[in-house]
Amino acid sequence: MIARIQLFRRRIGRQVALHYWVLGLLALLSIEGYGQSPTKLITDGFAHNDYEHARPLFDALDLGFCAVEADIFLTNGLILVGHDARDLKAGRALTNLYLNPLAERVRKNKGRVHPGGPEFLLLIDIKTAAEPTYEALRAVLQSYRSMLTTFDGARIQTNAIRVVLSGERPIGMVSNEVERIVAIDGRIVDLPAKPSATLIPLISDNWTTLFKWKGEGEMPPAEKTRLRSLVVQTHEQQKILRLWAAPDMPAVWQLQRELRVDLINTDRLQPFAQASGHPN
């Protein structure tokens, strides 16, 4: 009986050891794959509220996205990521979730987030008061300056990552800087003034205040004409266009592609990737 018990214990021990070996191997494979990119990049997709996904940043990167959004709050001197104040946790700092992983990717991929890929867009949506939040954010971003696109007068020095500020935008502070490491997210009402593309390279606005079409049937001709006009007007100023709160469905994604909307907002990363022809 004792011999049988000892044999049983040895078998259980081997099974447990095998279980942990497999887990360790999977973790190793994950680490070894870190920094690699899919064969197909999604250059017109925008990972809206990216931090709400199971793996902030990495879910988007694995699918080939080249643009993500992070909402930030200045809390007790820290730049924390979350949609609401109740979501904030010390471990969810902008540095932990985005800046450090991006810096590691850039280091491994010879100066790019995706190997051989385009400039990556990090849209930072400021949820707390604009000026104090930007002051704290700017100090954090300085540590990552070597990978950030810079703006100096009419000149843009493209780098691995472009940071654009949205939400509570510190337009005055940023516009008064001689050399900047951030740009500003504009609105459609900004277009008539024709602001410099070095200050406002991106125009974002709310789909629901512009269009009534919800993705069923054909978009009304008048609305389609208006959207086409917005695209043309934005592109004439060397800016790119994004519309948030658009119906998050294939028909609306396709229409925006056809009319050359530059960044298509989505919270549904996997379906969007599949609709974009991503192999995964």
Instruction: Tell me, yes or no, if the pTM score tops 0.95.
Output: no
- Of 193, 167, 171, 168, nearest in space to 183 by CA: 171
Listed by start position, the domains of the chain span: 41-275
Given this model, what pLDDT does residue 36 score?
56
Pairing of strands 150-152, 155-157: antiparallel
pLDDT mean over 172-193: 97
DSSP helix, strand, coil percent of the chain (3-state; round to 5): 45, 20, 35
pLDDT mean over 235-262: 98
Q: Which CATH superfamily is domain 41-275 in?
A: Phosphatidylinositol (PI) phosphodiesterase (3.20.20.190)
Note the pLDDT tens digit of each residue in 121-152: 999 999 999 999 999 999 999 999 999 999 99
Q: Is the pLDDT of residue 23 over 80?
A: no
Looking at per-residue pLDDT, the higher value among 84 and 136 belongs to: 136
Q: Are 165 and 185 in contact (CB under 8 A)?
A: yes
Given this model, what pLDDT does residue 85 score?
85
Given this model, what pLDDT does residue 37 score?
58
Query: In this prediction, what percent of the chain has a pLDDT beyond 90?
Result: 81
Given this model, what pLDDT does residue 90 score?
84
Confidence of residue 232 (pLDDT cuts 50, 70, 90): very high
Average per-residue pLDDT for the chain: 89
Q: Is the pLDDT of residue 219 over 50?
A: yes
Q: Is the pLDDT of residue 31 over 50?
A: no
> What's the gap between Cα 44 and its chain centre?
12
